């Protein structure tokens, strides 16, 4: 019954596990959810008030497919304010989440068989989206410190490669590109004139070590073949509103808009007003979340590294602890399955991101949940360690 294309893709593990854990919670089980990257904070008050007013003012019609002009202008201001980048409204479009933006970009850029370079470990949806666009993922492993392996990248770029998909800060490793790395990436991109770059920057505000820099900030000459993808989901704790956006060359944005015309039309009108309030409004909510995530990161990393059998490097950005479980002698699915069954803690198996000897813990969850989760993880690891020693 199903098409060959759909048979080739797998469901999203991050979403699947979160759905199972939420269902267990609904059934009354005391599950600790450290699975999906979902900040526990409510969306900011000024965002909610803006959306309520939009409903009361009957702003419930279709909007322009690529987003209302005010929001696109607000996004241009954001790029100048936060990234020092100059964009015009016609180079911006608003989507139903950044996932949607990446999907449209890949569909518009790839012809069957075109290769897309991805550095593993990487977010699970990239690979499936490349396959949906009939492209071929070309996977290169990161260096041991989770930085991009520049030599491998250099060797991998051939004429068959159409897109380099970058993600900094990285989900799941938290790696943040250094200026030196960006310079090396930029040099490679400059010598391969047909290479297009998709840069996923959704975790840009959550950097604990180093600084977030956009590739096009260092190499303005790459702006005409780079699309930056971002969203309000993580930055302003608004994942359910489903608003992402893309900034890129006018021609590509027009094609992505034409595709969006036929798939979803405009993203929710109410959510667009909410996103506008978030992006141009008071930014103290972002600082507050950053401060909290920073404390949670220190707490989790400290507790994890006191345990036998596992180790975890402090992530430089985003809000995930990517934990090395090699010494437990379990693969990542077995580890997460047992942890959920025996201790009711939901984590994501690293195999979802291409690394089977790791698991991912989201510390975007509330501090109390993290505390409870860490106590249970400790009990679980000590149990495994004791069984091994017996």
Q: Point out which residues bind ligand GLU (CB under 6 A).
A: 12, 14-15, 36-37, 99, 123, 125, 171
- Whether 123 contacts 166, CB under 8 Å: no
Is the peptide bond between 121 and the residue preceding it cis, with omega within 30 degrees of 0?
yes
Rounded to 5°, angle at Cα 304 from 387 and 200: 125
**Rounded least distance, CB 141 to ligand GLU, Å:** 20
- The closest alpha carbon to 233, from 34, 15, 37, belongs to 37
* Residue 337 buriedness (CB in 10 A; 0-12 / 13-18 / 19+): middle
Query: In whole angstroms, what is the distance from residue 273 CA to residue 48 CA?
Result: 10
Q: Looking at beta carbons only, is 90 or 128 nearer to ligand GLU?
A: 128
Query: What separation in angstroms does the CA of 293 have from each of 34, 172, 191, 316?
Result: 13, 15, 39, 12
Q: What is the rounded distance in angstroms from the CA atom of residue 99 to the CA atom of residue 175?
A: 20
CB of 36 to ligand GLU, least distance (A): 4
The length of the chain, given as a count of residues: 390
CB 13 to ligand GLU: min, Å: 8
Kindly tell me which of 97 and 248 has the beta carbon lying closer to ligand GLU.
Answer: 97
Instruction: Please state the closest distance from residue 239 (CB atom) to ligand GLU, in A.
Output: 7
Residue 121 CB, shortest distance to ligand GLU, in Å, is 12
Question: Which CB sits closer to ligand GLU, 36 or 133?
Answer: 36
User: Which residue lies nearer to ligand GLU by CB, 84 or 240?
Assistant: 240
Q: Nearest approach, Cβ of 186 to ligand GLU (angstroms)?
A: 26
**Whose Cβ is closer to ligand GLU: residue 36's or residue 222's?**
36
CB of 36 or CB of 108, closer to ligand GLU = 36
Residue 315 CA to residue 176 CA, distance in Å, equals 9
CA angle 116, 354, 35 (to 5 degrees): 115
Comparison of 79 and 103: residue with beta carbon closer to ligand GLU: 103
325 with 357: CB under 8 angstroms? yes
Q: How far is the CB of 202 from ligand GLU (least distance, A)?
A: 8
């Amino acid at each position: 019954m199903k098409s060959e294309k759909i048979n080739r893709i797998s469901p999203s593990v991050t979403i699947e596990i979160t759905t199972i854990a939420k269902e267990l919670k609904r059934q009354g089980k005391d599950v600790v959810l450290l699975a999906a990257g979902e900040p526990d904070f409510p969306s900011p008050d000024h965002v909610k008030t803006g959306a309520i007013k939009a409903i009361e003012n009957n702003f419930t019609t279709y909007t322009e497919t690529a987003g209302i002009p005010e929001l696109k202008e607000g996004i241009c201001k954001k790029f100048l304010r936060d990234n020092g980048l100059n964009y015009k409204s016609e180079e911006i479009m608003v989507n139903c989440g950044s996932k949607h933006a990446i999907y449209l970009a890949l569909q518009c850029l790839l012809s069957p068989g075109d290769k897309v370079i991805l550095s593993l470990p990487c977010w699970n949806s990239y690979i499936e989206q490349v396959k949906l666009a009939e492209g071929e993922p070309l996977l290169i492993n990161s260096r041991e410190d989770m930085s991009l392996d520049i030599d491998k990248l250099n060797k991998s770029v051939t004429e068959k490669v159409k897109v380099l998909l970058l993600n900094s800060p990285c989900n799941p490793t938290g790696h943040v590109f250094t200026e030196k790395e960006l310079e090396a990436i930029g040099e490679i991109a400059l010598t391969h004139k047909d290479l297009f770059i998709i840069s996923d920057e959704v975790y840009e505000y959550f950097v604990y070590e180093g600084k977030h820099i956009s590739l096009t900030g260092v190499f303005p000459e790459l702006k005409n073949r780079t699309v930056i993808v971002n969203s309000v989901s993580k930055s302003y704790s608004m994942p359910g509103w489903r608003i992402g956006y893309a900034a890129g060359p006018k021609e590509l944005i027009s094609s992505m808009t034409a595709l969006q015309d036929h798939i979803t039309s405009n993203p929710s009108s109410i959510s667009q007003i909410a996103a506008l309030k978030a992006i141009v409004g008071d930014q103290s909510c972002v600082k507050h979340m950053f401060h909290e995530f920073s404390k949670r990161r220190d707490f989790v990393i400290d507790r994890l590294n006191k345990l036998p059998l596992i180790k975890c490097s402090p992530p430089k950005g985003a809000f995930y602890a990517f934990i090395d479980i090699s010494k437990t002698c379990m693969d990542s699915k077995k580890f997460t399955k047992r942890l959920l069954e025996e201790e009711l803690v939901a984590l994501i198996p690293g195999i979802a991101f291409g690394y089977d000897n790791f698991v991912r813990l989201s510390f975007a969850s509330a501090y109390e949940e993290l505390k409870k989760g860490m106590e249970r993880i400790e009990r679980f690891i000590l149990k495994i360690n004791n069984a091994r020693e017996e």
